[in-house]
Amino acid sequence: MGSPSLSLDPWVPNSHFEKGGTVMINRQSGAVILGTGTRIPEGVIDQEVAAGVIQRLGLTHRWNKVLPKLYLKSGVLRRASVLLSAAGDDPDSRQSFYKPPTAAAPFGPTTAERMEVYATHAGPLLTKTCQAAIQRAGIEASAVTHLITVSCTGFCAPGLDHALFESLDLNLTTQRSHIGFMGCHAMVNGLRVAQAIAESDPRAVVLVGAVELCSIHQQYTEDPEQIVANSLFSDGAAAAVVTNASAAIRQPGQVHLRIVSSLSLKIPDSADLMTWKIGDHGFQMTLSSLVPSRIEERLKEPIEKWLSGLGISIEDIRQWVVHPGGPRILDSVDKAMGLDETKLSASRRTLANYGNMSSPTILFIIEEILYSNTGEHYGPRDGYWLVFGFGPGLHAEILLLELTE
């Protein structure tokens, strides 16, 4: 056999070798997701009630009367926040962080005050999530060799990784990396880094943990794009344990998802359509109404070329895990890829039950398909899964997974 040639096609990653124009997939190699975990804060609020709280606080004047209608159009039924007490008859008394605007504080808490909340709550929430993933993977925390943390809603140093060394009792020599401020698709980036580590070292056990406290960035605003963001985002955390496929031993009842390949796609002419910036009073999201049309126009062709290079077609995909940036973004992926509307039902259900939690959300969708009482309604699970995340840029980060049962 002659020496393998590297692909020069921009839609086929050069880490794969070609034979006869098609990448040969070796199902005995690569990286495997052994187990996942997800968690939300105890404080949960119905969307209609949340709209009422914001109305009474007077955080917007122009849109105040129509806030309940705008919030219900978001596709979200309920959301969780670290700012809410677990329960209470009076919804206004369940939080004290946000107060009515005053002449002295017209835009609410400062960024420094919001970062204090992040530093207090992000670590404990991520700890519980990582413990769940470690337990489902059937390993001990002491087996973890690499730690990857993911977050775009806060900063502190020592950071999340340092906190997990203490709370999980990780080995002091565990190698660590942080993926920060990338946005909603960052868990895909985290899993891609974990894949690279696991494929290069058969002994590696990589723990990837993402936590986002989006609710600490509520904006006092009249900007309609900010109002939409205020209605969508929520708090949550997710984690996954990744190892080399050759070292993965499936325990009874375990489900393994093999990471087959990934694609990073910059969507042209979209740099200003989705942004995430640090302001004086929290982080500020812009989400243009043009985002769905850009996705519709630009998504399908590069994905088809990428999959074709792997010897796979769109019709081979059994499960679609699409980050629910909002109902219109899900609609745009439906249209772009020519999907039956039921294909994204797990993504829509996750949006309804949890809101947009940014980077952790894709693992909530995966767990919805694998472990929920409604999982059987999403169709066959064995075979290929396509996982999408969209973030500022506008960038799409995509994973091809494979489940065998």
| Residues with active-site annotation | 184
As a whole number of angstroms, the distance between CA 202 and CA 92 comes to 52
Report cis status (omega within 30 of 0) of the bond before 158. Answer: yes
Q: Is the dihedral of CA 346, 349, 353, 354 positive or negative?
A: positive
Please answer whether residues 136 and 36 qualify as being in contact, where contact means their C-beta atoms are separated by less than 8 angstroms: yes
As a whole number of angstroms, the distance between CA 263 and CA 191 comes to 12
Enumerate residues 6+ apart whose C-beta is below 8 A from 252.
Answer: none
Q: How far apart are CA 211 and CA 361, in angstroms?
A: 10
Two tokens at 204? 């590696």
Name the packing angle between helices 111-137 and 160-168 (round to 10°).
40
Query: 38 is written with which tokens?
Result: 């997800």
Other C-beta atoms closer than 10 Å to the C-beta of 301 total 11
Got the DSSP string for 40-74?
--S-EEEHHHHHHHHHHHTS-STTGGGHHHHHHTT
Interacting residues of 229 by C-beta distance below 8 A, sequence separation 6+ = 219, 285, 286, 287
Closest CA to 256 of 243, 266, 275: 243
Whole-angstrom distance, CA of residue 168 vs CA of residue 163: 8
| Identity of the residue numbered 118 | Y
Whether residue 352 contacts residue 346, with contact meaning beta carbons closer than 8 Å, is answered with: no
In angstroms, the CA 384 to CA 214 distance is 31
> Torsions phi, psi of 312, nearest 5?
-125, 150
Length of the chain in residues, anyone? 405
The secondary structure element, H or E, covering residue 322 is strand 317-322
